[in-house]
Amino acid sequence: MTAVEILRAIEALEPGMQRAYLDSIRAAVDAAVIAEVERLIAEDDEQGLVALLSLGALAVFAEAMRGAFLVGGRFEMVAIVLPAPLRREIGRKEFDPSTEQAQARIAQQVQQARQASTDGVRDAIRAVMGSRRTIGGPQRTARQAALDLVGRTSPQTGRRTGGVLGLPGNMAQYVVNARQQLLSGDPDEMRKYFARTRRDRRFDGIVRRALEAGKPVAAADVDKIAGRYSERLLKTHVEMLTRTAAAESFNAGRDQAWEQLVAQGIDRAKIEKEWRDRADEKVRNSHRHMRGQTVILGQAFRTNSGALLRYPGDSSLGAGYDETANCRCYIIYHLRP
Phi, psi (rounded to 5 degrees) for 309: -140, 130
The answer on pLDDT for 137 being more than 90 is no
pLDDT higher than 70, residue 136: no
Residue 39 has pLDDT above 70, yes or no: yes
Question: What is residue 133's predicted lDDT score, i.e. its pLDDT?
Answer: 79
Whole-number Å distance between alpha carbons of 106 and 70: 10
In one letter, which amino acid is 171? M
Q: Is the pLDDT reported for residue 188 higher than 70? A: yes
Mean pLDDT over each residue of the chain, to the nearest integer: 95
The reported pLDDT for the residue numbered 251 is: 98
Find the mean pLDDT for residues 46-55. Answer: 97
Over residues 201-218, the mean pLDDT reads 98
- When pLDDT is cut at 50, 70 and 90, the band that residue 91 belongs to is confident
The span from the CA of 219 to the CA of 228, in Å, is: 14
- pLDDT, average across residues 305-327: 95
pLDDT at 138: 64
Residue 268 has pLDDT above 80, yes or no: yes
State yes or no: pLDDT of 135 exceeds 70: no
DSSP string, 238-294: HHHHHHHHHHHHHHHHHHHHHHHHHHTT--GGGEEEEEE---STTS-HHHHTTTT-E
pLDDT band at 154 (very low <50, low <70, confident <90, very high): very high
Label residues 265-301 b or e (16+ Cβ within 10 Å = b): ebeeeebebbbbbeeeeebbebbebbeeeebebeebb
In terms of Cβ atoms closer than 10 Å to its own Cβ (0-12, 13-18, 19+), residue 45 is: middle
Distance in angstroms (rounded) separating the CA atoms of residues 249 and 241 = 12
**SS3 sequence of 189-219:** HHHHHHHCCCCCHHHHHHHHHHHHHCCCCCH
Per-residue pLDDT of 287-315, as tens digits, reads: 999 999 999 999 999 999 899 999 999 99
Q: What DSSP designation does 138 have?
A: P
How do the domains of the chain map onto residue ranges? 3-266, 269-337
Distance CA 268, CA 252 (A): 17
